[in-house]
Amino acid sequence: MGLSKQNLVIIDTGCANLASVRMAFERLGVQPLVSCSAADIEGADKLILPGVGTAVAAMRNLNERNLVPLIRAAKQPLLGFCLGMQMLAQASEETMTGEDDDSGALIDCLGIVPGKIRLMEVGDLRLPHMGWNQIEHDETHPLLSGIPSGSYFYFVHSYALEVTAATLASCDYGSPFTAIVARDNFFGAQFHPERSGPAGARLLQNFLAL
């Protein structure tokens, strides 16, 4: 199947500005459908899970739209961006209980990839982690074909997934964290591919080719 003929669905989580994500794929010649319909999601060739905001609000939206079982049951390749990637994890510290909350409370996420989302430990560096940073990987996975280790991507986040056995690429900002995660047909990118220039476009193209 040609890339331009793919049935690509951007899952409408209700908490993301999807215009830039949609335009990134349109630049690659693909016309994605933005939908939260079960029929559209189940019938897609590929799925995108975007996300902006906090984990607690995003998970609430997914539950309200009955998207949690649909996403967990997905058999086609699915790529989460930024908060969309974080929602794939087991749980998140980002509960909106306040900056000084040290209760260790966690919100359950989708539980698809191992690991928890934690407030980044950055020492004297500033949060959020905002701007360009390098990712490191072993250059073997097809999602990263043509993207050398050390390539720069654009990040905006304060919480991150710890490095686990499912980490495909890592990044360092005060301490290492997962930049790309993969388990079975599920993939996540902590950065914004749609804002990451040619390297981001190549990652999206590679995803369409999986």
Catalytic residue among 129, 137, 157, 192: 192
Catalytic residue among 15, 36, 82, 109: 82
**Annotated catalytic, 82?**
yes
Query: Please, what sign has the CA dihedral across residues 59, 133, 129, 117?
Result: positive
**Annotated catalytic, 36?**
no
Catalytic residue among 15, 137, 157, 194: 194
**Annotated catalytic, 192?**
yes
Which tokens in the block code for residue 57? Answer: 């609000």
At position 210, the amino acid (one-letter code) is L
Query: Please, what sign has the CA dihedral across residues 46, 85, 207, 13?
Result: positive
What is the C-alpha separation between 48 and 83, in angstroms, rounded? 12
3-state secondary structure of 59: helix
Which tokens in the block code for residue 155? Answer: 């990040």
What is the C-alpha separation between 179 and 134, in angstroms, rounded? 9
Which tokens in the block code for residue 88? Answer: 């794939």
Residues designated catalytic: 82, 192, 194
